[in-house]
Chain A
Amino acid sequence: MSALDLLRTGSPQECRPVPRMLLTRPQWGALAEALVADTGPELMALWADPASVYLLLREGATLHLVSCPAPDGRYPALSPARPGAVRFERMIRDLWGHVAEGAVDLRPWLDHGRWPVAAPLAAKPEANGAAVPQPEFLTVEGEGVHQIPVGPVHAGIIEPGHFRFHVQGETVVRLEQRLGYVHKGHIGLMLGKPAQVAATLIARLSGDSTVAHGWAFAQAVEQALEVSPSPRATALRAVMAELERLHNHLNDWGFVCNDAAFAWPHAQCGALREGVLRTCAAAFGHRLMMDRVVPGGVAADLAPEGTAAILAALDAVEAAMPGLLAVYEGHASLQDRVVGTGRVAPELAARFAAGGHVGRAAGRGFDARAALPYPPYDALPPEVPVLAEGDVDARVRIRIAEIGESLRLLRALLADLPEGAVQVPLPRRGGEGIGVVEGFRGDCLHWVALDEAGLVRAAFPRDPSWLQWPLLEAAIEGNIVADFPLCNKSFNCSYSGVDL
């Protein structure tokens, strides 16, 4: 039986837009085994609550959600079938205490041994009085291999994380990441809160993707409660999401050039991005548009002068693009650093189901706006650029193409903004829903279960970086240490988004 046939044998539970198939332990085990041979379905996310584990798969335009009770705190591992499951399984053990049987790797991930409790989200967390353990890293054998520890406090103005390099001469033999430093306990804080309050926490899951995560969470809540936001709210969400894509892509393009010590594009991109952010503040009242997307719609309507301000900022970006691109392409000193550096093999991007520019630069043409279309993109589909090279240059070029596409989408959205209210009231009842929104970094995926009073019973926010970070470890292999900042910036994964 194929994996999808197997999961159809489960008992369907109410969840929207797709039902959740409840599997028994043997059924889940059979599914885990079937996925080894059946490489079709992609693992999008794996998480838990105190009683069960949950798995979200995708094949084509369909999501498949399954769950399995774990009354004794154990469940059959998926990591032998899907490498992307490794970090999820480590995270599940740290947060809920459920152990994946037969897992590839069960070293701690988010839990550094510094919390007052172990398994803080379990039904009964145990007090933690143990000494802080030393982290264990994978080893490398060979003549002249030595280690370079980097972080958690980095040299630049970036988020904290530890990188353990094993190098031979200048060449990186292995990179291993150790994250979890900015674990704030998002999920625990969301529990028992009304959706609107939980949304303010989600807006701060990864500040650079505040709109995309806010929108995906709002979608999940709206699915759970069977409400639809107004056409105007939907269009305004898309305007904000495209502005967010634009300012982040400009930022990343500039920073990649800066990491190759080429300052001019960085200065230009910085100025253009500042123009976009000021426009966001004028149009929506906040430079990053934090807390502007709320469950049920958007917090406030577009300011009266907003459309004109946005269009002016778009014109400025468009006017600067040809010159910027010509300089990026025309300087051998820059091209020499980015072309062929930090290559991700298309097979790896596919196996990890890596989204965003990481996947699309390595042949995986998934963009949630096109592959799992949601309003307003169902009526306004984006062109999805795809490249196969998988190097730093390809990731930059995907961003450049998407800047152009965001300009087009923004103009189309603003030219045809529907009239009407921007918020609908949320009914007070229970439900379960999934939301997926394409952020600048990739697909932001949210699952939420609300109890009868409309309070969050369980939730899981999945940042796209979960399935991109592991590929950075692969991309840097065989490159020189000095190219790591360039590779890292070309990925620009979120730390806060995966540290939860």
Chain B
Amino acid sequence: MMQALQRMLWPKLARQLLGRPVTDPAPAVSAEVVAQLAARLEEGAQARLGRSLAIRQVDAGSCNACELEINALGNIVYDLERFGLRFVASPRHADVLLVTGPLTRNMKEALLRTRECTPEPCWVVAVGGCAVDGGLFKDSYGVEGGVSAALPVDLVIPGCPPTPTQLLEGLLALLEAQAPPRRDGAA
């Protein structure tokens, strides 16, 4: 009887419905970063994007540590989707390209093609120390440099790798930046 109960999913789900959520509260967002980002975004784009972003992640040469932490954003502790942020399988569905790694020469064309497939307006976010300027790998024959060696970058989230909380701060800043101006004039 006990064994049969243990195999069943619904008692476990019911228990979790009754318990307190394990999800962390949202981190604070830097007002300065939000202002800079908002200035980059045209007014029309604000209306089109609304308060939701579809993200396409591109590994352009990373060691996979950044991918581990980006994946962690989806776990129930960070629960990225509660903010209207979600990862999509194709750049054609994306508003944001989240690019990691020093840009390798062998990935440059794939990154450029991914950007070409992404509709406007599109944010490019460079994630991790390597994506900023090539990091430890910048002097290698196999590396172009940071992500900006191929694409204009809108936001940088440094760290080696950035923690999920740091990633969340950056992504929430993007959301804030495109929040439409409030009608009541309270800014």
Contacts and interface: CB of A to CB of B under 8 A. Distances in A.
B9 A496 contact: no
A287 B166 CA distance: 13
A155 B106 CA distance: 19
Contact of A160 (B9, B13, B65, B110): B110
A112 B8 CA distance: 51
A205 interface: yes
B137 A206 contact: no
Contacts, number: 148
Given A114-B105, A159-B62, A185 B77 contact: no
Interface in B26-44: none
Contact of A496 (B7, B62, B74, B143): B62
A398 B165 CA distance: 32
Contact of B143 (A185, A327, A331): A185
Contacts of A116: 141
Contacts of A51: none
Interface string A154-186: 011111100000000000000000001111110
B72 interface: yes
B62 A207 contact: yes
A189 B142 CA distance: 10
A183 B107 CA distance: 9
Residue among A114, A117, A494 with most chain B CB within 10 A: A114
B75 A157 contact: no
A181 B107 contact: yes
Interface in B108-155: 108-110, 114, 136-137, 139-143
Contacts of A271: 22, 75-77
Contacts of A189: 136-137, 139-140
A207 B13 contact: no
A264 to B, nearest CB: 6
B58 A153 contact: yes
A304 interface: no
A184 B104 contact: yes
Interface in A101-136: 112, 114-117, 120
Contacts of A155: 89-90
A287 B58 contact: no
Range, interface on chain A: 35 or more
B90 A274 contact: no
Contacts of A330: 6-8
Contact of A204 (B65, B76, B104, B143): B65
Given A114-B105, A159-B67, A184-B61, 11 more contacts: A120-B142, A182-B106, A185-B140, A200-B136, A204-B136, A207-B62, A207-B68, A270-B77, A274-B77, A288-B68, A326-B3
Interface of A: 112, 114-117, 120, 152-153, 155-160, 180-185, 188-189, 200-201, 204-208, 210, 251, 264, 267, 270-271, 273-274, 277, 281, 287-288, 290, 322-323, 326-327, 329-331, 494-496
Closest 5 CB pairs of A and B: A207-B65, A330-B7, A270-B75, A185-B140, A155-B89
30 contacts: A115-B105, A157-B67, A159-B64, A182-B59, A182-B61, A182-B63, A182-B104, A182-B106, A182-B107, A184-B137, A185-B137, A185-B143, A188-B141, A207-B64, A207-B65, A207-B67, A207-B68, A207-B161, A251-B68, A264-B13, A271-B77, A281-B163, A288-B65, A322-B6, A323-B6, A323-B12, A326-B7, A327-B7, A327-B9, A330-B6
Interface of B: 3, 6-9, 12-13, 22, 57-72, 74-78, 87, 89-91, 101-102, 104-110, 114, 136-137, 139-143, 160-161, 163
